[in-house]
Amino acid sequence: MVARSHLSDAELDQLFRALADTTRRDIVARLLGGESASVSTLAARYDMSFAAVQKHVAVLEEAGLVSKRTQGRERIVRGNPERLAQARQLLQQLERLWTARFSQLDAILAEPRPHKE
């Protein structure tokens, strides 16, 4: 059993690299409830510059975790739950793979072994 994803290795690397940062995970969590927010609104929630938050949003957008659209003078950011579901799917496959491997190891270790004298 090998975990498979319809995402390329480069896309998976980009996705998990984007999720590796605390601030980016927090932004995704704020936006996945169907809410959208301007970059300015997001930036007000963090103790960092507007430009730094903008860079975090850009990384998330490149990974497909959020999308941006222009509304007047603002850039509105919305979460993409489908992309996060793809990551969850791969992690669940990996969990099943390792659970099966540990079960096999448990079975091997539970087999009676002859005693050497």
CATH of the domain at 42: 1.10.10.10
The pTM of the full predicted model, rounded to 2 decimals, is: 0.76
pLDDT in tens, 7-50: 788 988 999 999 999 999 999 999 987 789 999 999 999 999 99
Contact 37, 55 (CB under 8 A): no
Question: Considering the domain boundaries, does residue 117 fall inside one?
Answer: no
Question: Considering the domain boundaries, does residue 97 fall inside one?
Answer: yes
Structural tokens at position 18: 């984007």
Cβ burial of 76 (10 Å; 0-12, 13-18, 19+) is middle
The whole domain housing 47 covers 9-110
